Structure 1
Amino acid sequence: MATVKELKATARPKAGKGAARAERRAGRVPAVIYGDNQPPLTISLDDKMLRQNIFAGHFLTTLFNIDLDGKKHRVIPRDYSLDPVKDFPLHVDFLRLGQGATIRVSVPLHVSGTEVSPGVKRGGTVNIVNHTVELEADVEHIPQFIEVDVSKLEINNSIHLSDVALPKGVKAVSRDDQTLVTVVPPSGYGEEAKAAGGAEGAAAGAAPAAGAAAPAAGAKAPAAAAKAPAAKAPAAGDKKK
């Protein structure tokens, strides 16, 4: 179930840059609610409260009930802008959600199991190929994140979108089976593997050669033994005569 938070808003009858600057000077942030085949509503929100929600994380996947003059509007943030220098919010766009609405959301990935991954233990590094996944979700089942478990991942192995179980009421937008996470080998891993393979091949080739040398040495010994009696026998007979 998606998280639903409360926000209090004030109607903002005037639009335009001048009115927006006046709202910011008063410690409020201009915003707009649109969608669901209804006219847009220009509102303003408390700057401090909005900052807390934005910087708490998952802002763009969190549902809000905006209380405007006693009437609540179920919305989800679709975009927001921050001051490039001071990082305070400048404006927010909210999408109004009707009953049973389905929307597209960009959901971040959370990687778990890194500390026990066999590939990481061998010196590999977890590489997040896609940090977010585009999903289509029922508004009541928008996930805060998608968890990817790499606890069994070896070096050069990957996890794809099809390997991840998506929550109820959620499906992937892309038809391609995206690569989400992979474990890349450490520097020099390829050269070490080649060297190890070459050493094993050399050892395997040297073993038969050593075995073949043994019979050759054994064959020389009988020949030498045969020559010794033949040379000594006549010499001994001559001396007795």
Structure 2
Amino acid sequence: MVQTVRIEAAARANAGKGAARATRREGFVPGVIYGAKKDAALIQLDPRVIMKEMHKGSWQSHLYEVVVEGGETETVLMRDIQFHPVTDRPIHIDFQRLSAGARLKIRVPVVFLNEDTCPGIKQGGTLNVVRRAIEVMAAPASVPEHFEIDLAEAEIGATLRWSAVKDQAGTKATINRDFVVATIAAPVVEEIVAPQAAAPAKGKGKGKK
């Protein structure tokens, strides 16, 4: 099931751009926790915590327990991160609270099994990934860490669809059809065209009369 990550934060008193800039000058990243019909909570985090999650990948499919210093622990999803356009450092982060019994919309990454033994790939085909993550509706406690599709019997020309996912874990795809996740594409054959011999120039080789 989905990984739950515990991170620590501190409350911040003031909203607005000026207050956010002051938070950044102090070396923290301003953020907000919203949703579940509660007032928004203003927080600040150590940027190293955020970058650590970015380097892990798949942060959009993780649940987080944000422990606010002097306050309560919030179960949330990391919904949006804003980065500085020059330094690429995080400058703001949004978390969404999860209410009890609610189903959430979340993107779950796809993992392909037995790619090294896939008959289509061994014959020269290429795995063409259409969707590296699938958006689903799911209960927070049952979101899988990833979806798996087995390529052990996939031949050239095979189409792997949502129905090929080994265990959908009770989730429901937001696309209401059996959509394509990946294909095994045929190898590209390049046609080599031999250069044509140049036609002899008119009058060449004729002697004077």
Which amino acid in 2 is paired with 1:67? V
In the alignment, what sits opposite 1:168?
Answer: 169
Distance in 1 between residues matched to 2:13 and 2:45, nearest whole Å: 14
Q: Residues 166 and 84 (structure 1 numbering): CA distance in 2 closer, same or farther, change over 3 Å?
A: farther
Distance in 2 between residues matched to 1:54 and 1:121, nearest whole Å: 34
Which amino acid in 2 is paired with 1:44? Q
Instruction: Using structure 1 for the length normalisation, give the TM-score.
Output: 0.74
In the alignment, what sits opposite 2:140?
Answer: 139
Which amino acid in 2 is paired with 1:55? H
Kept in 2: contact 1:6–1:66 (CA 8 A): yes
Instruction: Give 1 or 2: higher helix fraction.
Output: 1
Alignment RMSD, CA only? Answer: 1.6
Q: Residues 103 and 81 (structure 1 numbering): CA distance in 2 closer, same or farther, change over 3 Å?
A: same
> How many residues were matched structurally?
190
Deviates more, 1:153-162 or 1:13-22: 13-22
Give every structure 1 segment of 4 or more consecutive aligned residues whose post-TM-superposition deviation is greater than 4 Å: none
In the alignment, what sits opposite 1:17?
Answer: 17
Kept in 2: contact 1:141–1:167 (CA 8 A): no
Query: Quick one: higher RCO (CA 8 Å, sep 6+), 1 or 2?
Result: 2
Instruction: Using structure 2 for the length normalisation, give the TM-score.
Output: 0.85
Aligned pairs (5 A) from 1:1-12: 1-12=1-12
Listed as ranges, the gaps of 5+ residues in structure 1 are 192-241
**1:139-188 superposed Cα distances (whole Å, 9 cap, x missing partner):** 01112221121121111111110121334331212112111111111112
- Aligned-residue sequence identity (percent) comes to 35
Distance in 1 between residues matched to 2:101 and 2:134, nearest whole Å: 22
Q: CA deviation at 1:111?
A: 1.7
Aligned pairs (5 A) from 1:26-175: 26-68=26-68, 69-175=70-176
Distance in 1 between residues matched to 2:169 and 2:109, nearest whole Å: 17
